[in-house]
Structure 1
Amino acid sequence: MTTEQSIMEVSDSVVANINKFVQNRQAAEKEATHEPLSATALHAYARRLDGTLLQLQDQVRRQEEELRKLRGVRSHGLLHGGDDRWARVQQARQAKRAYESLLKTEDQLPTTDSVLPPLLALEQTGKLIEEGKISVSVTAEKLSGDRDRLRIENANLQDSQAIARRLRERIQRIRSTNERKQEQTPTQVAQEVISEQKKKNKRMARASAELKESLDKFIDDTLAPMLAAEDLGGPTVGDELEVSDATLKAGYTAHGKPKKQKEPEEPDLGSQQRIDQFLRPSTDGSNPTGKRQAAATELHELLDALLEADFSYIDLKRDSAASRFLVRAKVAQFHPRDARRLRLIDFSRSLGV
């Protein structure tokens, strides 16, 4: 029964392959209508296909004939010998001769000019190519991830090596310093400490002077117009980053909006009077340059007074835009019960110094 089933399965698969081959041939013929080949090439190709189809059909017929023989042997009692011992021996001998005859038969393989082997090879090659493409994409992704991890590990290694090198240098300097101090007298050690402290003080003084110069420049160039605008009732410092002299000259409305700029008609004065007016500084409050300078001077004086007070409260002459700006900037703070007193915020206390 097992041999019969295997032959049936082979026959069905062969028939399915033949049908598939016929369908592929029809598709190829349709494609050939769009790109026609020469008559000789078409004739040779059709002859090879017909030969392959005949070979396959012949093989199917032979297998069906063998299947019928096996069924006939079964119907004659080859597989059912009953209780007779000699009958079973005879059946075994017949089965042996049948298997020996099958072993002597040659394998039914396609001929050398058949197109079946190239088609099978082409199908298998296509599968291998698709699997290779998938493997290449997976390997490329893995390689990219490995390269990223390698780059990160190299960066970590360089950082670790740099830290270790700096630590070794630091340890060596400390050892050298300790050895040198052990050889020095207390007076020499004290003089060295004093010298280092003086150098540090000079560096701090130089850095403080540079910071003070930068702060003064920032106040004169950037903060002064905004402070003057806030004093005139304009926007708060920081709301409008650029305030022109024309805006300061025109002033602001009660709602904090810039007034419309008017160009007054200049009277026809004598040349000497115009020169005197141009050279003599204006004493009224309409000069925008004077307003900027006054705001800058007020902030400079306020900062100097706060620095000299050393975190102690100072008395304010008036409620100005400069004092409000320092409070908003978290540089200074008002007295809890008296808004006319101001002092610097002690940052060292919050840092635990």
Structure 2
Amino acid sequence: MEVSEEIVQKIQKFAQNRQAAEKESASEPLRATNLHAYTHRLDETLRELQEQVRRQEDDLKKLREIRSHGLLDNSNDLWVRVAQARRAKRAYDSLLQAEDDLPPTGSILPSLIAVEDTSQLIRESKVSVVVTAEKLSTDRERLRVEEANLRDSRAIANGLRERIQRIRDTNARKQKQTPSQVAQEVVKDQKKKNKEMDRASADLKVSLDGFIDETLAPMLAAEDLGGPTVGDALEVLDATLKAGYTAHGKPKKQKLPAEPEDGGQQRIDQFLQRNDDSSNPTNKREAAATEVHKLLDALLEAGNSYVDLERDSAASRFLVRAKVAQFHPRDARRLRLVDFGRSLGD
């Protein structure tokens, strides 16, 4: 089948327009708003075509109603019928000679249009897949959160049911007991709670003493000597404390001590002296630890009362900064523990 040059040019123009449309679509990917606008334009075009079809149907109906000079005129005059036949022949001839807007049989234009529609459908499907995947991920995350909330709700409900059942069992058991038995059980529970609290307090005291002796005491001693504030230098050596600090808070250079002739005997004497009186601190770190222990013991024994301080020490300042204790509003030489059940202003 031969294809005319005009059809080839039309196909080439269509291909060029299609490529330009693909480049424009690639430069600006379809989004939800673009798809919505495209769908809206399609709906408007469809409504316009339907309106045009309705108008043409109305015109056709009006033409059919006019029979005075139409082919359906049942006139008995022979010349009138011949005139009608001639007009019909001229009309059919003009239609046959007119150029048909539809592509001829075997044209590749329908295939190209089908390919274009298929490509458009594929692009829209890809965009829809991406949007659906994002929504699916969000829905899955929400599902995991809801499942976690459901598990928590079920655990809370089970705990409440068990708690209610225990209370009911306890009330039922108490109703069967005499007042003396109930009192004995309450006293037993209270003693058990007191023992657990004493054990927890002892463990906490051991942990606190270890923290003070190993970590806090060197930093307090350094602050007392004019060094960094507690927390600025996390590791302070005994040699640094022995050497001291400068006026600017810098560690002094350590000097190598001269070894005496009877140095071994002197170390033995110092060791024996430490064993004889363990309460006396042997260095500044132990002195700072002893001071903190004494201050905490005094504050705990005083309760809500104020304790008189012998001097302004790094230990007292640290307790105030840590919001463990507070100074007297009008006397900074008095200190007491913070009442954690109330605010500082009470």
Normalising by structure 1, what TM-score?
0.67
Is this contact kept in 1: 2:327–2:336, CA < 8 A? yes
The match for 1:175 is 168
The match for 2:40 is none
Q: Secondary structure at the match of 2:323?
A: coil
1:94 deviates by: 4.7
The match for 2:133 is 140
1:110 corresponds, among 105, 109, 112, to: 105
Aligned length: 270
Using the TM superposition, name which of 296-305 and 122-131 deviates more. Answer: 122-131
Change (3 A) 1:98 1:256: same
The letter of the residue matching 1:162 is A
The within-5 A match list for 1:73-222 is 93-94=85-86, 96=88, 109-111=104-106, 115-116=108-109, 118-222=111-215
Where does structure 2 lack aligned partners over 5 or more consecutive residues?
A: 17-68, 97-101, 274-280
Change (3 A) 1:309 1:108: closer
Change (3 A) 1:16 1:220: farther
- 2:250 equivalent to 1:257: yes
Is this contact kept in 2: 1:310–1:344, CA < 8 A? yes
2:335 corresponds, among 342, 348, 352, to: 342
- Cα distance in 1 between the residues matched to 2:213 and 2:103: 104
1:120 deviates by: 3.8
The letter of the residue matching 2:11 is F
Q: Deviations over 1:144-163 (max 9, x none)?
A: 22212222221221121111
Q: Secondary structure at the match of 1:240?
A: coil
Change (3 A) 1:204 1:19: same
1:303 deviates by: 0.6
The match for 1:310 is 303
- Cα distance in 2 between the residues matched to 1:88 and 1:138: 69
- 2:227 equivalent to 1:234: yes
The match for 2:265 is 276
- Cα distance in 1 between the residues matched to 2:83 and 2:234: 113
1:207 deviates by: 0.6
The within-5 A match list for 1:41-52 is none
Is this contact kept in 2: 1:245–1:289, CA < 8 A? no
1:220 deviates by: 0.4
Q: Deviations over 1:71-92 (max 9, x none)?
A: xxxxxxxxx99xxx98987665
Normalising by structure 2, what TM-score?
0.68
Change (3 A) 1:88 1:262: farther
Q: Secondary structure at the match of 1:281?
A: helix
- Cα distance in 2 between the residues matched to 1:150 and 1:97: 74
Is this contact kept in 1: 2:226–2:247, CA < 8 A? yes
Q: Secondary structure at the match of 1:242?
A: coil
Specify the structure having the higher radius of gyration (Cα): 1
The match for 1:293 is 286
Is this contact kept in 1: 2:217–2:285, CA < 8 A? yes
Q: Deviations over 1:262-287 (max 9, x none)?
A: 224435x1xxx12112223399xxxx
The letter of the residue matching 1:180 is R
Change (3 A) 1:215 1:94: farther
1:337 deviates by: 2.7
Identity percentage of aligned residues = 67
- 2:315 equivalent to 1:326: no
- Cα distance in 2 between the residues matched to 1:212 and 1:313: 22
- Cα distance in 1 between the residues matched to 2:197 and 2:158: 29
Where does structure 1 lack aligned partners over 5 or more consecutive residues?
A: 1-13, 27-79
- Cα distance in 2 between the residues matched to 1:163 and 1:336: 47
The letter of the residue matching 2:9 is N
